[in-house]
Amino acid sequence: MKDERITITGGKGFLGAHLTQKMKEKGYKYLYIADLPEYDLVRLEDIKRMYDDSKPDIVIHLAAKVGGIGFNRENPATLFYENLLMGVQLLHEGYLRRIEKFVAIGTICAYPKFTPVPFKEEDLWNGYPEETNAPYGLAKKMMLVQSQAYRQQYGFNSIYLLPVNLYGPGDNFDPRSSHVIPALIKKCVDAKLNDEKEILVWGTGNATREFFYVEDAAEAIILGMERYNKSDPVNIGAGFEISIKELVELIVELTGFKGRIIWDKAKPDGQPRRTLDTTKAFKEFGFRAETDFREGLKKTIQWYLEMVKCQSP
């Protein structure tokens, strides 16, 4: 596959940048980045132009409209519409142009709200997603339906990978749309720099999450692209669970913040528990996460500290 033409949508984004770098290191020569502002992948004419420009053999679809709980609550219609249109049109156009393979990146938000832990792929349809995530999760989940339908009717080769929550250097630290790890790192580091005595954290701290280091996620996607050729969904993650309370304590320790934690229990926790069964990824294409969570957090915090230093006058 090293000589294949590979287009990565959302390649300028957090995961996309790490994936592109890792693929270059592995010797992939013909990588094409399809992202804003050159291509608005909600628009069919931009999708067609992207295919004309890049002439891909393989498409890896990472591009997504995405955010944390607050962003999801404020933008459910936008999240549903834009993610649905991107996925449906990109995959269909890939089929029309007879590309060799389409790699669809789904989301853990597609799982039902009360999925038995750890989440197994066969539980994906056993209920409705957690309400704040549902429009986004269901829009991305439609790529799985489409992938399976197009394989059944047309023999089109597409796969569907389900990553758990990502984190790492280069993450989105914008408080309006960031996920929990960058949001907490920013709060602790900024409070420490500004000599503030407390930080406010949403929810009760009881919800649990699994976090997946971005470089491990990039490795999983490459292995799936290289070795997996079925439309059955596959979880990719680190295979561990931590409560938000424990996460806050760990980030407080690693950032050196000495103040008080105030829990805003009026704000939602989101899905009660979230961790993946990742045995299928190992069985099907030999992927197992390698990055220790504490070490991954240290690298992420260090990256943010360097960014803050660069931006200060």
Quick: pLDDT tens for 221-265: 999 999 999 999 999 999 999 999 999 999 999 999 999 999 999
Shared domain for 101 and 219, answered yes or no, is: yes
Judge whether 173 lies within some domain.
no
Annotated active-site residue 136? The verdict is: yes
**What length does the chain have?**
313
Number of structural domains, the chain? Answer: 2
Shared domain for 120 and 195, answered yes or no, is: no
Quick: pLDDT tens for 150-193: 999 999 999 999 999 999 999 999 988 888 999 999 999 999 99
Task: Give the containing element (helix H, strand E) for 89.
Answer: helix 76-96
Shared domain for 149 and 95, answered yes or no, is: yes
Per the structure, the complete domain to which residue 110 belongs is given by 5-168+210-241+273-292
Radius of gyration of the chain (CA): 19
For residues 232 and 156, what is the distance between their CA atoms, to the nearest angstrom? 13
Q: Quote the pLDDT of residue 311.
A: 80
Judge whether 175 lies within some domain.
no
Shared domain for 136 and 252, answered yes or no, is: no
Q: Quote the pLDDT of residue 37.
A: 96
Shared domain for 201 and 101, answered yes or no, is: no
Shared domain for 78 and 189, answered yes or no, is: no
Specify burial of residue 259 (Cβ count, 10 A radius: 0-12, 13-18, 19+): middle
Shared domain for 217 and 265, answered yes or no, is: no
* Tokens at 28, concatenated: 């992939």
Judge whether 174 lies within some domain.
no
* Tokens at 293, concatenated: 């969570």
For residues 165 and 179, what is the distance between their CA atoms, to the nearest angstrom? 8
Q: Quote the pLDDT of residue 195.
A: 94
Shared domain for 195 and 120, answered yes or no, is: no
Q: Which residues contact 84 (CB under 8 A, 6 or more apart)?
A: 139, 142
Q: Quote the pLDDT of residue 313.
A: 67
Q: Quote the pLDDT of residue 177.
A: 83
For residues 47 and 162, what is the distance between their CA atoms, to the nearest angstrom? 23
Low-confidence ranges of the chain (pLDDT < 50): none
* Tokens at 287, concatenated: 């992927």
Shared domain for 25 and 73, answered yes or no, is: yes
Shared domain for 194 and 96, answered yes or no, is: no
Catalytic residue among 28, 39, 95, 136: 136
Shared domain for 160 and 29, answered yes or no, is: yes
- The answer to whether 33 and 11 are in contact (CB under 8 A) is yes
